[in-house]
């Protein structure tokens, strides 16, 4: 089958297995060059400092920051990893989701490298999947010849819906403002066309549902389950991800339904941190930079802002993708020498958050990005913004526009 991208309103409806696999391989190459230096997983595990991860669980492992986190833990630090995600497999007649191919590629690369890894497909919100993860952790520990004690948990779920295992009710998140309607610009990355959008405010039920799906409750349930099963290291470290962004995006993001959910995520992080404060454990919410994801492409203002931001950050040599961000999180925050034995040494802001958006939020970057947003119109959008870069990153996230892939060659969509 020859697979070409199917784009509708900034949504990509398919993916390419070979492109996804090569993109994963290049992320692995990056961390092996910048963190591990090509050292084998066995030597990494044998010689790693006491505070670096040996056994990591990544909830939401298949795309974006979750995938990059798993790659960094495994190929950058030699950790055995268990990944959890819910993806649609490919078949002979239809491509699977990008995350399906990413997981296949990660597993294949880990096997070739001799790196213990197990990927679970299922509903991460369910009790059954949590129990399956406990069993997988014990099994992977045997394979890695290490104690069955998780010392790193990455919580990076991006599901739009959640079925509560307690009552069976399905909750659906929304991206809406709170209180007042929101009007702003968005850009079609395929054509460069700019249009105005208006989003009506969320109702109380929609706000509550978004918090239920994207807040911190399930993160806490994962910690509870793993702790009760006896598979948590006393010095466990756990991180969840959030975004704050510039004030121009706050009505639809920080002060909207997503922001309300992220406030609950921060609440959960603080509660987990208090719970493990006496055992050298730690929990953080990491505020990451704006990136192109399958979700961000359809959030009003974000594509336009990101396109302007990318141009500025690339000109200043400050631009990072998911893998560069996660390498910096591990190397310069979570596992700096001073923090090996004392999580209080992890650099944080006044709210206890890790800030990887520090380069994005620099005054000069924000000033120049705002200026570009003021002058960019359809006639000059490819001059004053990086819509082309946004488009590339979006396509690459689905396995398209990856250099080195022959997109005219037929592929088997059931695998890689």
Taking 70 as the threshold, does the pLDDT of residue 39 lie above it? Answer: no
How many angstroms separate the CA atoms of 282 and 235, rounded? Answer: 7
| Mean pLDDT value of segment 361-377 | 96
Q: How far is CA 340 from CA 94, 146, 236, 331, 354, in A?
A: 46, 19, 11, 11, 16
Is pLDDT of 300 > 90?
no
- Between the two ends of the chain, the Cα-to-Cα distance in Å is 13
pLDDT (0 to 100) of residue 346: 95
Helix residue ranges per DSSP H, 163-233: 204-214, 217-228
Name the pLDDT band for 42 (thresholds 50, 70, 90). low
Helix (H) and strand (E) counts in the chain: 14, 13
Backbone angles phi, psi at 287, to 5 degrees: -90, 110
Give the active site residues: 253
Please say if the pLDDT value at position 226 is more than 70. Answer: yes
Q: Is 409 exposed, middle or buried (0-12, 13-18, 19+ CB in 10 A)?
A: exposed
Cα–Cα distance for residue pair 388/391, rounded to 1 Å? 5
- Mean pLDDT, to the nearest integer, of 180-196? 87
Q: What's the mean pLDDT in 87-103?
A: 94
CB neighbours of 100 closer than 8 A, spacing ≥ 6? 15, 62, 87, 88, 89, 90
**Angstrom distance (rounded) from CA 143 to CA 45:** 13
Candidates 223, 194, 337, 349; CA nearest to 286 is 349
Closest CA to 53 of 45, 42, 62, 63: 45
Say whether pLDDT at 43 is over 70. no
pLDDT of 283 strictly over 90: yes
Query: Does the structure show a pLDDT above 70 at 103?
Result: yes
d(CA 267, CA 197): 32
Helix (H, G, I), strand (E, B) or coil at 392: helix
DSSP state of 225: H
250-262: string of b/e by CB count within 10 Å (b at 16+)?
A: bbbbbbbbbbbbb
% pLDDT > 90, the chain: 81
pLDDT at 328: 95
Q: How confident is the model at residue 197 (pLDDT cuts 50, 70, 90)?
A: confident
Q: What is the pLDDT of residue 50?
A: 58
Mean pLDDT estimate for the chain: 92
What does the pLDDT average to over 45-66?
82
Is residue 268 pLDDT above 90, yes or no?
yes
Would you say 223 and 237 are in contact if contact means Cβ atoms under 8 Å apart?
Answer: no
- Look at the block and give the residue holding tokens 């756990």: 238
């Amino acid at each position: 089958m020859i697979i070409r991208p199917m784009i509708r309103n900034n949504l990509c409806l398919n993916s390419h297995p070979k492109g996804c696999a090569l993109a994963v391989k290049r992320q692995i190459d990056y961390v092996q060059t910048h963190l591990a230096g090509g050292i084998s997983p066995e030597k990494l595990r044998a010689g790693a400092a006491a505070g670096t991860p040996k056994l990591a669980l990544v909830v939401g492992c298949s795309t974006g920051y979750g995938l990059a986190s798993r790659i960094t833990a495994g190929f950058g630090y030699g950790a055995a990893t268990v990944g959890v995600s819910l993806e649609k497999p490919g078949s002979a007649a239809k491509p699977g989701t990008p995350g399906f191919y990413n997981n296949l590629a990660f597993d294949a690369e880990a096997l070739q490298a001799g790196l213990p890894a197990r990927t679970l497909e299922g509903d991460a919100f369910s009790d059954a999947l949590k129990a399956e993860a406990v069993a997988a952790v014990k099994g992977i520990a045997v394979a890695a010849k290490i104690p069955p004690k998780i010392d790193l948990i990455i919580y990076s779920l991006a599901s739009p819906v959640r079925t509560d295992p307690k009552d069976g009710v399905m909750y659906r998140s929304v991206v809406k403002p709170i209180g007042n309607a929101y009007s702003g610009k968005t850009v079609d990355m395929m054509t460069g066309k700019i249009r105005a959008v208006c989003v009506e405010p969320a109702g109380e039920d929609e706000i509550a549902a978004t918090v239920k799906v994207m807040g911190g409750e399930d993160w806490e349930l994962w910690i509870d389950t793993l702790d009760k099963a006896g598979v948590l290291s006393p010095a466990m470290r756990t991180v969840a991800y959030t975004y704050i962004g510039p004030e121009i995006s706050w009505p639809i993001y920080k002060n909207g339904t997503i922001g309300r959910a992220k406030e609950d995520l921060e609440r959960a992080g603080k509660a987990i941190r208090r719970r493990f404060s006496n055992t050298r454990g730690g929990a953080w919410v990491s505020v990451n930079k704006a990136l192109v994801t399958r979700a961000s492409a359809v959030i009003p203002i974000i594509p336009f802002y990101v396109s302007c931001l990318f141009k500025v950050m690339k000109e200043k040599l400050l631009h990072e993708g998911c893998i560069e961000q996660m390498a910096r999180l591990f190397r310069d925050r979570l596992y700096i020498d001073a923090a090996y034995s004392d999580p209080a040494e992890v650099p944080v802001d006044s709210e206890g958050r890790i800030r990887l958006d520090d380069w994005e939020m620099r005054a000069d970057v924000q000033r120049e990005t705002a200026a570009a947003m003021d002058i960019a119109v359809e006639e000059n959008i490819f001059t004053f913004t990086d819509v082309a870069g946004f488009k590339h990153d979006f396509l690459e996230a689905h396995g398209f526009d990856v250099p080195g892939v022959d997109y005219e060659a037929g592929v088997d969509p059931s695998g890689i």
